[in-house]
Amino acid sequence: MENEKAVTLQDIANRLNLSVVTISKALRNHPDISIKTTKLIKKVAEEMGYMPNIMARNLSSRKSNTLGLVVPKIAHHFFGAIIESIFDLAFQQNYETILTVSQENAEREKKHLLTLLSMKVDGIIISVTQETKDLSVFEMIERRGVPIVFIDRVPESAQNYNIVKVDDYNGAYKAIEHAYNLGYRKIAHFGGATNINIGRDRMNGFKDAMNNFGIEINPNWIFEGGYSENSGYEFFMKLYKENNLPELILAVTYPVALGIYMAAKEVGLEIPKDIDVICFGNAKVQSFLSPPLSCIDQPTDLISKNAIDLIMKKIDDEDNEIAPQQIVLDTSLVLRGTCIKKH
């Protein structure tokens, strides 16, 4: 069974007794070609089922109209929401987005980044893994002149790159302030790795708030671990076995909070009566958990919007005259069935 061969500009040119160049120009609405010819060419191209070969086009034009997006995970609400809106916004501006998933693995991330470079994307938006420390790839990307924007997660030493993130420090601070007013004094923080900003800033906001309100920080209640359900589960179980549970846990992400829910259920402890929780990240489904989970909301749509705007600006700025920008968005406290009163 023979496959149909793809129609090329040459085929159309042959049929019409015109040159390849004329066809190419006409299809791109180049003013060189008369309206009449353009119309004819477009009609014939349509008839013949012409489809541009994007590889060839990109190779020759040195422009791909493509964005690279690197995230640590897909199946987490936060990243799902970010990806969906970035794809949408890019599509509206006629950009294709190439998604790549690092699975929280720095080596894999680096490999993906190199692939994106090889694919000649016009810009890269990335949320790094929790292990990412080595900046050499990013420096190389910069040197190559490919704009890069960090969203949400930024390596500690990359604070002068283009960044769109959330005010994590204040988010944590506000949560602790709220808990303090509720009367909570025994508060734990299940935090993330502190080599990236979200872990560090949330930790700092937590600690500063604790200190400012004169609450003692119990080092056994501070964890610097991961962002996944497993982490939440394990930290909780550790404290439970030590018989050393706090009254309230500030979880660094929604999955961590879910891990806490799992663990508490398993050992027969009731939230929020026996142990209370609040977390970063606002998924719609949190309203339907038992109990509904309160959180520090991160505005995912705004993050995406700002990231796209920024990267487009950078792509247009061919001479690289615009200085890197750091955009910090506000969080807000969303109170539901947890962390609303002390038990």
| Contacted by 18, from its own copies, DNA, none: CB < 5 to 8 Å by type | DNA
Q: Which is nearer to DNA, 8 or 325 (CB)?
A: 8
Strands ordered across the beta sheet of 248-251: 222-224, 187-191, 248-251, 276-280, 295-297, 332-334
Strands ordered across the beta sheet of 326-329: 96-101, 66-71, 123-126, 148-151, 162-166, 326-329
Comparing CA positions, the residue from 79, 280, 293 lying closest to residue 190 is 280
Q: Which two tokens stand for residue 130?
A: 């929790």
CB of 210 to its own copies, least distance (A): 28
CB of 288 to its own copies, least distance (A): 5
Among 22, 64, 286, 306, binds DNA (CB under 7 A): 22
- State how far the Cα of 217 lies from the Cα of 250, in Å rounded to an integer: 13
| Contacted by 237, from DNA, its own copies, none: CB < 5 to 8 Å by type | none
Q: Which two tokens stand for residue 284?
A: 């719609």
Using rule CB under 7 A, residue 25 touches DNA = yes
Using rule CB under 7 A, residue 124 touches DNA = no
Contact (CB, 8 A) for 193 and 131: yes
Using rule CB under 8 A, residue 119 touches its own copies = yes
| Contacted by 290, from its own copies, DNA, none: CB < 5 to 8 Å by type | its own copies
Using rule CB under 8 A, residue 339 touches its own copies = no
Using rule CB under 8 A, residue 6 touches its own copies = yes
- State how far the Cα of 261 lies from the Cα of 232, in Å rounded to an integer: 9
Among 32, 88, 270, 301, binds its own copies (CB under 8 A): 88
Contacts for 273 with CB less than 8 Å, ≥ 6 apart: 343
| Contacted by 322, from its own copies, DNA, none: CB < 5 to 8 Å by type | none
- State how far the Cα of 54 lies from the Cα of 8, in Å rounded to an integer: 12
Using rule CB under 8 A, residue 320 touches its own copies = yes
3-state secondary structure of 99: strand
Q: Which is nearer to DNA, 20 or 329 (CB)?
A: 20
Q: Which is nearer to its own copies, 29 or 91 (CB)?
A: 91
- State how far the Cα of 293 lies from the Cα of 240, in Å rounded to an integer: 21
Using rule CB under 7 A, residue 52 touches DNA = yes
- State how far the Cα of 313 lies from the Cα of 221, in Å rounded to an integer: 44
CB of 38 to DNA, least distance (A): 7
Contact (CB, 8 A) for 205 and 250: no
- Torsion of the alpha carbons at 68, 69, 74 and 76, rounded to the nearest 10: -170
CB of 114 to DNA, least distance (A): 13
Containing 66, the helix (H) or strand (E) segment is: strand 66-71
Q: Which is nearer to DNA, 26 or 203 (CB)?
A: 26
* Footprint of DNA (CB under 7 A): 6, 8-10, 17-22, 24-25, 27-28, 32-34, 37, 50, 52-53, 56-57, 59-62
Interface residue list for its own copies (CB under 8 A): 1, 3-4, 6, 49, 51-56, 58-59, 64, 73-75, 77, 80-81, 83-84, 87-88, 91, 96-101, 103, 108, 114-115, 117-120, 140, 143-145, 229, 258, 261-262, 265, 284-285, 287-292, 319-320
